Amino acid sequence: MRVIIVDDEFLARALLREYLGEHPAIEIVAECANGFEAVKAIGELQPDLVFLDIQMPKLDGFEVVELAGACTRYVFVTAYDQYALKAFEVRALDYLLKPFSRERLAQALANVAAREAPAQEVRAAAIEAARRHGPLERILVRDGARVHAVATSSIDWIEAQDDYVQISSGGRTHLKNGRMAELEEGLDPGVFLRVHRSYIVNVGAIERIEAPTKDSWCAVLRDGKRVPVSRSGYAKLREAMR
């Protein structure tokens, strides 16, 4: 199992490295001291598992998961127990509370080997998380070595593009790795509507609705973008704009 250790404290990384050294099946492929390093290493090395601290400079552990995506699995390692619920909501396989013993680490590795939540359980967890914590207030977008925090209130439209979504905010567009359905679940349904299989729009950004033909519709947004609207999307818009 290829592993990355992420912690801003050198001694914490050293202790975890020592404990993991007792497990011959584990190969430590990188150690990172902050969230930016972690996102870069996860993207480049594609590890099987990341041991991830939560409170770190630049990006915290949850922001690392958001940016790195579902390409790996995570065990959170932290001195704070109040993040446990949120950790499991973002699909963590275990939660190690510092200080932990060799035995507790061995148990976590056993849990990793035994558990991989099916897709429907992951989706249900994401929906429940949105209910508990409210809609997203910002979306993190990686641009090379830089990370942009895009306020959801500034977003005009979102377009699906294969394994990415294109987000338009304040006259700029950003590409983010991820699926439209996953993003939709975190947005405020009172503000954003899925008007087409490939588009989500901010209702407040709509200038007008046009009907080029009898059975087709188009939303013209404040930035001039013309978004196709499906039959079901048109029904949602009529209801929302009453």
- 136, 122, 137, 8: which is closest to 61 by C-alpha? 8
67: Cβ contacts below 8 Å, ≥ 6 apart: 39, 59, 140, 142, 147
pTM of the model: 0.55
Give exposure, 196-231, as e/b (b: 16+ Cβ within 10 Å). bebbbbbeebbeebeeeeeeebbbebeeebebebbe
The pLDDT, as a whole number, for residue 119 is: 39
The position carrying tokens 């029904």 is 235
Q: Which of 115-129, 146-160, 205-219 has the lowest mean pLDDT?
A: 115-129
How far apart (Å, rounded) are the C-alpha atoms in residues 82 and 67?
A: 22
| Residue 71 pLDDT | 67
Report whether CATH 2.40.50.1020 matches the domain 138-240.
yes
Q: Domain segments of the chain: what residues?
A: 2-130, 138-240
Q: Six-digit token pair at 106? A: 């061995």
Q: Which amino acid is at 114?
A: A
> What number is the average pLDDT over the span 169-187?
85
Evaluate if residue 120 carries a pLDDT over 60.
no
Per residue in 33-90, pLDDT tens?
998 899 888 888 889 899 999 998 878 898 888 888 666 889 999 988 888 878 877 7
Query: What mean pLDDT value characterizes the chain?
Result: 85
Read off the pLDDT band of 238 (50, 70, 90). Answer: confident
Q: What backbone phi and psi angles, to 5 degrees, belong to 125?
A: -65, -40
- What pLDDT shows up at residue 134? 67
Alpha-carbon distance values, 68 to 25, 42, 153, 174, 223 (Å): 24, 7, 23, 16, 30
Task: Provide the CATH number for the domain formed by 2-130 in this structure.
Answer: 3.40.50.2300
pLDDT tens, 183-198? 888 888 889 999 999 9
